[in-house]
Amino acid sequence: MSDPDLLAAARAVRENAYAPYSRFKVGAAVRGASGRVFVGVNVENVAYPEGTCAEAGAIAAMVAAGESRLQAVAVIADSPAPVPPCGGCRQKLAEFGGPDTPVTLATTDGVRQETTIGTLLPGSFSAAHMDRA
């Protein structure tokens, strides 16, 4: 299910990405359970591993606002094909969304791919795996 407003928010915030090292700006927007939209960008650092992804920023904004469930996700970058979230971001998305939570991956040229958190991270590690009772 596409969410044009969510993708528009990701596209707009992408301009603010701080990516002087990769020169690869990414924008992300998430819709929380309340319907509110939260945005994030990648924020790089001269100590490269300290950089953070756009998805992580959007999730952090949602949690800081008091929400903890994802209704939908959109990610956009100026890439030849819709950019897939990195492994760490897939795990972060799985923490706050369900397997059927829709994820829109897009390029700034208008190519879109609709997927879900479950498709991006099949067989994900969850709290149930720690249940030994």
Q: List residues with catalytic annotation.
A: 55
Among positive and negative, which fits the CA dihedral 45, 47, 48, 51? negative
CB of 34 to ligand THU, least distance (A): 24
37 or 41: whose CB is closer to ligand THU?
41
Query: Which of the 8 DSSP states describes residue 48?
Result: G
8 or 19: whose CB is closer to ligand THU?
19
49 or 122: whose CB is closer to ligand THU?
49
Integer Cα distance of 77 and 71 in angstroms: 21
**Residues in contact with ligand THU by the rule CB under 6 A:** 19, 22, 24, 26, 42, 44, 51, 53-55, 75, 83, 85-86, 89
Integer Cα distance of 30 and 100 in angstroms: 14
Nearest 10 degrees: Cα torsion 101, 95, 75, 44:
180
CB of 102 to ligand THU, least distance (A): 16
CB of 26 to ligand THU, least distance (A): 4
Give the pair of three-digit tokens for residue 106. 């897009």
